[in-house]
Amino acid sequence: MAEDQKPSLLIVDDDPLITDTLSYALSKDFEVLVADSRQNAVSLLRQLDTAPQLALVDLGLPPTPHRPDEGFQLIADLLAHSPPMKILVLSGQNDAANARHARTLGAAEFVAKPCDPDSLKKILLHALQFRAAEISGEGVADIDPLIGKSPALQKLKSQISQYADSPFPALIEGESGTGKELVAVLLHRLSWRRSKPWYALNCAAIAPTLVEPTLFGYTKGAFTGATQNKSGYFEDAGDGTLFLDEIGELPLELQAKLLRVLENGEYQRVGETQQRFSQARVIAATNRDLRQEIRKGQFRPDLYHRLSVFTISVPPLRDMDEDKALLLEHYCRFYGEQAKMPPFSLDEEARKAWHDYHFPGNVRELRNIVIRLTTKYAGQRLSPAEIEPEFDLEAPAETGTGLPGDPGTLVEQAQRHLQRERGFDLDNMLKAWEQGYIEAAMKLTRGNVSQAAKMLGINRTTLYSRMESLQKQQ
C-alpha cells in the first residue's frame, strides 16, 4: 500500500445515522465503504479487487435486527473472504455472551455502542498495526508458523514434508481458524516449485459468475466487460502452484471443468475453442465435510477423489493441549515486540485455565486473545479473573454431526436398550433424537438457523421443514 493511500474500512450497520456519522468522522483517516446488511456487505466485497483491511460491523442486522445471528454469520463470511481482515464489532447487543462469541468467531475486538469516534479511531489504528505486523516480512511469515510439539502437529508436519514435492493434488481439511492456508503455503515453499508462481483463489470470496474467467481466462467479447483477451490463474501459474481455498463453495457447473483440468490438464478460456494445457499443481482447502456435501448432491464425488490424492487434516487446537502454552509464549513475545510493550504472563491457576479452555476458534482465537491481553495488561501477571472473560465457555467444544461413539458402541447400546425396554417404538425414538439434536444445535448457535443446519449437516431449508414438522407433532 502506498504511503499516501488510506487504509480501507468496511462499516456494516443498518442505521444510516450511525453509518453517516462514522463515515464523516473516520473518512479523514480511512477509505470508508458502507453496507446496511450482511447480504449487501458480501455483494460489495465480491465487487472489489482488494478486500478492506478493517471491518466495523453491527450484530443486529436485517432481517433479524434484534438478534445477533446475522452479525455472527457476517464475521464468518468476512473471514472466509479475507482471513487477514481485522473485524471489530460495534454493537448495542453488548451482553458478555455475545461479545465472547463474536471474538470466538474471529472478531478482533468488541466495542459497545455508543463509542465516540476518536476512541474508535484509536482502536481501529491499533488493530491495523497488528494486522500489518502479521503480514509483514518481519512477522509470522518468516518464522515457522506451525508452532508446537504435540503428536497431532508432528503428524501434520510429517505429512507436509512427505507431500510437498509431489505433482499430485492435495486437499487440506480443517476447521476455521486452524491455519489451512499456512499449510498450503508450506507445501509450496518446501517443493521444487518454491521459485515458481503461487496463485490463490478464495472460492467463497468471488461471485460465482467470475470464478470461471478468473481460473481459465477469457477472450475479448466473451461477455459484457471483456474488452481484451485475459489469461486466467491456471495459465499464469504455469508449473507453479494454484491454491483453491474454500473449494466447497465452487459451483457445481464449474466442478466438472476443474475435474477435466485435474484429469488431463485441458481447459479453455471463456469464449474460446482452443485447448490449453496446465501443469500447475492444485492444492485445495475446505472447512466443510465434502463427503457430506457429496451425499447432499452439492459436490462431485469424482472431483473429491481427484482432489484428495493426498489429504491433510489440520488438527483443531483442542487436540493439541501441550501446544497451547507454546503458542501463548510465542504470540506474547511477538505482539509485545510489535506493540513495544512488555509481554504479560499467567500465574499457575491462569495457566491451568488456559490449558483447559478448548479454543473453539482455534489458533485465530488464541492469537486475538493474546492481542487483547497484551493491550490491556502489558507487563502484568494475570490470574483467571483477567483471562476467563476472554473465553467463550458456552461455545461447543467440538463440531461434527451424527450420533456419539463408534458404530460398535452404538450397536451395544441399542442391544441393551431393546432388552430393557418393552413396547419400544423406533419412530418415536428417532423423532426424540432428531428433536434433541435440533434443539441442541439451536442452543449452541444461539438460534442461528444457518449455523445450526451446518452443524447438523443438512440444508437450512431442510432444518426449517423438520422444525415445523416436529412442532406440528407436539
Task: Determine if residue 246 is left, alpha or beta; phi over 0 gives left, psi from -120 to 50 gives alpha, anything else beta.
Answer: left
Percent of the chain with pLDDT over 70: 89
Contact 276, 231 (CB under 8 A): no
Percent of the chain with pLDDT over 90: 54
- Matching residue, cell 490424492: 309
Residue 50: count other Cβ atoms within 10 Å of its Cβ. 9
* In 82-116, alpha helices (H): 96-105
Residues 6+ apart with CB under 8 A from 157: 146
Q: Which residues of 128-139 are buried (b: 16+ CB within 10 A; e: fewer)?
A: bebbbbbeeeeb
**pLDDT confidence of residue 144:** 54
Phi then psi for residue 73, to 5 deg, are -65, -35
Q: Where are the domains of the chain?
A: 8-135, 151-313, 318-390, 407-473
Nearest-angstrom CA–CA distance, 192 and 363: 29
The domain 151-313 is classified under which CATH number: 3.10.20.30, 2.60.40.10, 3.40.50.300, 1.10.10.10?
A: 3.40.50.300
Instruction: Spell out the CATH class of 8-135.
Output: alpha beta
**pLDDT confidence of residue 94:** 62
Average pLDDT along the chain: 86
Nearest-angstrom CA–CA distance, 214 and 269: 10
Nearest-angstrom CA–CA distance, 393 and 22: 33
Alpha-carbon torsion angle 49, 179, 233, 163, nearest 10: 170
Q: Is 445 helix (H, G, I), strand (E, B) or coil?
A: coil
Q: Is 317 helix (H, G, I), strand (E, B) or coil?
A: helix
Contact 82, 51 (CB under 8 A): yes
Which CATH number is 318-390 given? 1.10.8.60
pLDDT tens-digit profile of 214-223? 999 999 998 8
Q: What is the pTM (predicted TM-score) of this model?
A: 0.72
Residue 418: count other Cβ atoms within 10 Å of its Cβ. 11
The low-confidence residues of the chain, meaning pLDDT below 70, are 1-4, 93-94, 136-145, 394-424, 446, 473-474
Cell triple for 258? 476443474
**pLDDT confidence of residue 405:** 41
Phi then psi for residue 192, to 5 deg, are -65, -10
**pLDDT confidence of residue 418:** 60
**pLDDT confidence of residue 407:** 44
Which CATH number is 407-473 given? 1.10.10.60
